[in-house]
Amino acid sequence: MARDVLITGASVAGPALAWWLGRYGMNVTVVERAPEFRDNGQNVDIRGAGRVVAQRMGIEDEIAARTTGEKAIAFVDEKNEVQAQIDVGDFGAGGPTAELEILRGDLSRILVERSRDKARYQFGDRITALDDGPDGVDVTFEKGGRRRFDLVIAAEGIGSATRTLVFGDEARRKPLDLYMGYFSIPPAPTDSEDTARWFNAPAGRSVFLRPGGDATHVVLTAQQPPDGREDLEPSEQKAWLRKTFADAGWEIARVLDGLDKADDFYFEAIGQVKMDRWSKGRVALLGDAAYCASPISGMGTSLALVGAYVLAGELSRHEDHEAAFAAYERIMRPYVEQAQNVPKLGPRIAQPQTRFGIALQQWALDLSTKPLVKSVATKLMSSKPEKIDLPNYGYGVDAGGLKTPAVGD
Ligand SMILES: Cc1cc2nc3c(=O)[nH]c(=O)nc-3n(C[C@H](O)[C@H](O)[C@H](O)COP(=O)(O)OP(=O)(O)OC[C@H]3O[C@@H](n4cnc5c(N)ncnc54)[C@H](O)[C@@H]3O)c2cc1C
């Protein structure tokens, strides 16, 4: 009998896992708390091993066809004069603009659409109780009904409620003392089709405008320790951003006007999730729910794709789910630790407090792109190989995809 697997969360990690488990012949149900598919979110990066997984899934070309077109980031001053510019490929694979950048909603749509033939999606529902027994997990859903599954995988993002239900307070949240608001606004003549613009205002604030499709994608970042505003209503979060950025200068009037009208607003407290274990009994965690590295790392989406690949591959290899979960953790831990290794000072350097700090940051950035310094910096950044050897599970490795017999079939 093929395993019955419940996945919660239909953003990146959940649908990627559904795709792989479906290919391995398992019965997959995906439950997502949002009432319908969510299109929002801005640029996410797919790097290194994440890109290899996309190749093995056969979706690399589709992603490449929908990349945002961003080729560089220009750091501008109040008068919109470029003080420093970093191009794609500067500083090797770890540079700020990845070769494969796509809007989160576009990537999620590709994954959901590609996995739908082998997975049942249920939007607008969530788990309210779990009873993990020797023969399966009895799951109670908010919309009513109770069903037994062989395994439950929570891919619910940084604030996962199922993680709390199963692991209590085992997850340690490491705050990076930043709030970010993401939304889209209509393009203006100052926007470029291929160059993002980054503007710093004093008091640790930044405005990041990125190209992509027929809109300009905004990230407003404010330095502030988390104080619970991530749980407020979007209208309250928007009001706080409006107040915080009111005197930021540059193109802020246009940005705040767009903020009021934006219907794709997403707001989060930036931080990381660290856990001593990612599974308990028949329940495992995947993606940001298990090991959020934060947008500062540029690695969250690659971790989600690679984690889904490894977890599914190990489940296809092992009849015993505990052995599969242990192998998933053994393979992923070093890669996750490397991705989470964001210097605590990083956010402070990116968000200076004073005008002098901003000038210093821009001088240093400009210097770092000068040929001699750049080649040294690139060598330093490129010399670290990724701490993962992607196992070959025998599916999707060649263009045609080698079919592996499903566990239990
Ligand atoms: C709407 C949205 C916009 C985003 N925008 C950006 C962005 O602009 N830039 C960036 O770097 N990162 C963004 N992210 C985060 C990024 O997608 C992740 O860091 C990364 O891709 C890892 O994905 P994940 O699937 O593990 O987690 P997430 O992408 O956080 O997805 C978790 C999913 O689980 C669902 N969920 C949560 N709780 C439950 C529950 N109890 N039951 C069922 N479902 C639940 C959520 O609605 C969500 O769909 C965004 C995430 C979301 C959900």
Q: Extract the tokens encoding 58.
A: 């056969």
Q: Name the percent of the chain lying above pLDDT 70.
A: 89
Ligand 1 close to Cβ of residue 125 (< 6 A)? no
Q: Which of 6, 7, 8, 11 best tests ligand 1's pocket when mutated (most atoms within 8 Å of CB)?
A: 11
pLDDT at 146 over 70: yes
Q: Extract the tokens encoding 14.
A: 């959940």
> How do residues 82-132 score in pLDDT, each as one tens digit?
988 888 766 555 555 666 889 999 999 999 999 999 999 999 999 999 999
> How do residues 26-55 score in pLDDT, each as one tens digit?
999 999 999 999 988 888 999 999 999 999
Tell me how far the alpha carbon of residue 129 lies from the centroid of ligand 1, in angstroms: 21
Average pLDDT estimate for 344-367: 78
Q: Identify which has the larger pLDDT, 385 or 330.
A: 330
Tell me how far the alpha carbon of residue 231 lies from the centroid of ligand 1, in angstroms: 15
Distance of CA 125 to the CA centre of its chain: 22
Cα–Cα dist 306/285, whole Å = 13
Q: Extract the tokens encoding 189.
A: 């003549």
Ligand 1 close to Cβ of residue 104 (< 6 A)? yes
Residue 363 pLDDT: 79
Ligand 1 close to Cβ of residue 107 (< 6 A)? no
- Parse the chain into domains and list their residue ranges: 4-67+103-173+273-339, 174-270+344-382
Ligand 1 close to Cβ of residue 301 (< 6 A)? yes
Domain 174-270+344-382 fold is: D-Amino Acid Oxidase; Chain A, domain 2 (3.30.9)
Ligand 1 close to Cβ of residue 157 (< 6 A)? yes
Tell me how far the alpha carbon of residue 281 lies from the centroid of ligand 1, in angstroms: 24
Whole-Å CA distances, 79 to 75, 221, 400: 11, 20, 53
Residue 96 pLDDT: 58
Ligand 1 close to Cβ of residue 293 (< 6 A)? no
Q: Which of 19, 39, 122, 156 best tests ligand 1's pocket when mutated (most atoms within 8 Å of CB)?
A: 156
Ligand 1 close to Cβ of residue 44 (< 6 A)? yes
Quickly count: other Cβ atoms within 10 Å of residue 94's Cβ.
17
Distance of CA 121 to the CA centre of its chain: 21
Q: Give the residue, by CA position, lying nearest to ligand 1 atom 50.
A: 41
Question: Which of 84-88, 172-176, 371-375, 382-386 is predicted most confidently?
Answer: 172-176
Ligand 1 close to Cβ of residue 84 (< 6 A)? no
> How do residues 51-69 score in pLDDT, each as one tens digit?
999 999 999 999 999 988 8
Cβ–Cβ under 8 Å, residues 272 and 173:
yes
pLDDT at 141 over 80: yes
Tell me how far the alpha carbon of residue 358 lies from the centroid of ligand 1, in angstroms: 31
Q: Which atom of ligand 1 lies closest to the CA of 219?
A: 8
Residue 404 pLDDT: 42
Cα–Cα dist 227/229, whole Å = 6
Average pLDDT estimate for 147-173: 96
Residue 92 pLDDT: 57
Tell me the pLDDT band of 400, cut-offs 50, 70 and 90: very low
110: buried, middle or exposed (CB in 10 Å: 19+, 13-18, 0-12)?
buried
pLDDT at 376 over 70: no
Ligand 1 close to Cβ of residue 165 (< 6 A)? no
> How do residues 190-222 score in pLDDT, each as one tens digit?
999 899 999 999 999 999 999 887 899 999 999
Q: Identify which has the larger pLDDT, 350 or 39.
A: 39
Q: Give the residue, by CA position, lying nearest to ligand 1 atom 49.
A: 11
Tell me how far the alpha carbon of residue 157 lies from the centroid of ligand 1, in angstroms: 5
Q: Name the percent of the chain lying above pLDDT 90.
A: 73
Tell me the pLDDT band of 386, cut-offs 50, 70 and 90: confident
Tell me the pLDDT band of 403, cut-offs 50, 70 and 90: very low
The order of strands in the sheet holding 216-223 is: 82-87, 72-76, 195-201, 205-210, 216-223, 172-185, 266-274
**List of residues 6+ apart from 296 with CB closer than 8 A:** 176, 178, 270, 342, 346, 347, 350
Residue 40 pLDDT: 85
State the average pLDDT for the chain. Answer: 89
Specify the CATH number for 4-67+103-173+273-339; select among 3.40.50.300, 3.20.80.10, 3.50.50.60, 3.40.50.150. Answer: 3.50.50.60
Q: Which of 104, 153, 182 best tests ligand 1's pocket when mutated (most atoms within 8 Å of CB)?
A: 104
Whole-Å CA distances, 33 to 126, 155, 277, 372: 5, 11, 25, 51
Residue 100 pLDDT: 85
Q: What is the CA radius of gyration of the chain?
A: 21
Residue 151 pLDDT: 98
Residue 350 pLDDT: 76
Ligand 1 close to Cβ of residue 287 (< 6 A)? yes
Residue 385 pLDDT: 74
Cβ–Cβ under 8 Å, residues 286 and 364:
no
Q: Extract the tokens encoding 254.
A: 């246009």
Tell me the pLDDT band of 357, cut-offs 50, 70 and 90: confident
Give exposure, 161-184, as e/b (b: 16+ Cβ within 10 Å): bbbeebbeeebeeeebbbbbbbbb
Q: Which of 33, 45, 146 is nearest to 94 (CA)?
A: 45
Cα–Cα dist 312/324, whole Å = 9
Distance of CA 246 to the CA centre of its chain: 29
